[in-house]
Amino acid sequence: MLRLLRGETLTELAAETHRPRKQLASWRQRFVAGGEAALDGRADPAELERLRIVEQELSERVSQLEQQNRQLSRRLDLVDRSRINRSQPHPFCSQAYAKALEEPGVQVVPVPQWRTFVLVRQTPTGLRQATGLRPIASLDPDCDIRGGLDHLRREGIASVSLVTDPLWCPDLAVLQQEFTSCRPFKQSYFIDRETERVHLRKRHRNMVNRARRAVEIRSVALADHLEEWLRLYQHNVQTRQIAQPFSPAYFDRLLEVAGLETLAVLVDGQIVTMTLWVRYGDIRYYHDGASSEAGFETSASYAAFGHVIETATDVRYLVLGGSAHFRDEPQDGLAVFKRGFANASATSYLCSAVLNRPRSA
């Protein structure tokens, strides 16, 4: 019950515990009712009623997303690969992107079988550990997972871990078969223009309309506004306490990555918000965003997302991402923000494998 209240879905828990979804839903209802009964006389009735309404709205939204996920899972190919030029590497699999993440003590190692790269670090005990390119490791759906693991094993890598791209990766059954561990990591919210009509939640629609009256939106080149972007990004690192911020060198190298697009939001001629997007074929990913205090006050990020959703009709998918932290937190502010624009969601998975055990193990 605690896992359900933290945001895990009935479908996931039913599959893991082999309990019927109806039974789990009934237990949750009794659990919540018992908690409310215990709070009677100690809590403000008006506050309890507000919480009941919020819980009902969340349950309805989760049910909608679960239904959409079931529809998506029945389709063998979520992404129409025929509309993507496979001769060009995925931007998040390219050497340029891997080099952007390079830093002292980190080695970029190619994995030809996966058509991508990993980042290798050496521990104080001498072990070489590999991680996928962050924030997500996009793996070609047809890549040879086992062959890539064997390649890393021959390279002397002790272990590898990565977080999958929810739309661009091999089938879950393949991941579960080849990796030592493969478990759900986060819900990633996105827009699928062909599954369901794009319909913003009422609050988001109101915020977008209000922001548009106060701002101007332009497509710009990041190279021309890199200094302004770094200033906004550093402000976000400090105010949001980002755990693993990108370095200035990362964004300087990011300019070489194919498919990078930048949107600027201005108030009185001054940039207050910038959002970075990366396109690959029929998919456009939200990569990062940053705002000044004026940007937050005018809800400029709402205007930026609303603009992309309205104008980027040449792609089917707009991948917005999930919560801000290393855990899936549906009530995290960033998750709520993205979910309000989305009409679908998919799960990214944390996959890891032990490749070479040290002799002392």
Same domain, 15 and 155: no
| Structural domain includes residue 260 | yes
3-class DSSP assignment, residue 187: strand
pLDDT in tens, 177-197: 999 999 999 999 999 988 767
DSSP string, 158-171: -EEEEEB-SSSS--
Tokens coding 76: 């063998």
Residue pair 232/290 in contact by the 8 Å Cβ criterion: yes
Query: What mean pLDDT do residues 229-250 have?
Result: 86
Q: For 211-236, how does the pLDDT look when each residue is reduced to its tens digit (9 = 90+)?
A: 999 999 999 999 999 999 999 999 88
- Asked whether the predicted pLDDT for residue 244 surpasses 80, the reply is no
Let me know if residue 361 belongs to a domain: no
Confidence of residue 49 (pLDDT cuts 50, 70, 90): confident
Between 352 and 50, residue with greater pLDDT = 352
| Domain shared by 65 and 152, yes or no | no
Give the pLDDT of residue 356: 86
For residue 359, is it within any domain?
no
Over range 86-108, report the average pLDDT: 90
Whether 27 contacts 2, CB under 8 Å: no
**Helix residue spans in the chain (DSSP H):** 2-5, 10-17, 21-39, 45-73, 95-100, 145-154, 172-178, 202-212, 226-240, 248-254, 293-297, 300-311, 333-339
Report which DSSP code applies to 243.
S
Return mean pLDDT, the chain: 87
For residues 27-43, give the mean pLDDT: 75
Q: Do both 160 and 238 map to the same domain? A: no
The first and second tokens of residue 127, run together, are 């072990």
Q: Same structural domain for residues 232 and 133?
A: no
Q: pLDDT of 155-178, one tens digit each?
A: 999 999 999 999 999 999 999 999
Query: Residue 78: is its pLDDT beyond 70?
Result: no
User: Do residues 332 and 214 share a domain?
Assistant: yes
Task: Find out whether the peptide bond into 20 is cis, omega within 30 degrees of 0.
Answer: no
Tell whether 165 and 201 lie within a shared domain. Answer: no
Q: Any idea what the CATH number is for the domain that residue 232 is in? A: 3.40.630.30
Q: List the single range of 54-63, 238-247, 344-353 with lowest mean pLDDT.
A: 54-63
194 and 182 inside one domain: no
The answer to whether residue 37 sits within a structural domain is yes
In a domain, 360, yes or no: no
| Same domain for 251 and 114 | no
Counting residues of the chain whose pLDDT is more than 70, the rounded percentage is 89
Last residue of one domain, picked from the residues 27, 54, 73 = 73
Q: pTM of the predicted model, to two decimals?
A: 0.75
- Averaged pLDDT for residues 342-353: 93
Q: Which of 139-150 are b and which e, b meaning 16 or more Cβ less than 10 Å from the residue's Cβ?
A: bbbebbbeebbe
- pLDDT computed for residue 359 by the predictor: 58
Q: Are 92 and 222 in a shared domain?
A: no
53 with 111, same domain: the answer is: no
Question: Among 44, 73, 102, where does a domain finish?
Answer: 73
Give the model confidence (pLDDT) of 122-133 as tens digits. 989 889 999 999
pLDDT of residue 201: 85
Cis peptide before 89 (omega within 30 of 0): no
Strand partners, 321: 189
Claim to verify: residue 60 and residue 16 sit in the same structural domain: yes
Instruction: Kindly state the tokens that stand for 302.
Output: 């709402």
pLDDT for 180: 94
Number of domains forming the structure of the chain: 3
Tokens of 135: 């924030």
Q: In terms of residue numbers, what domain contains 134?
A: 81-186+349-354
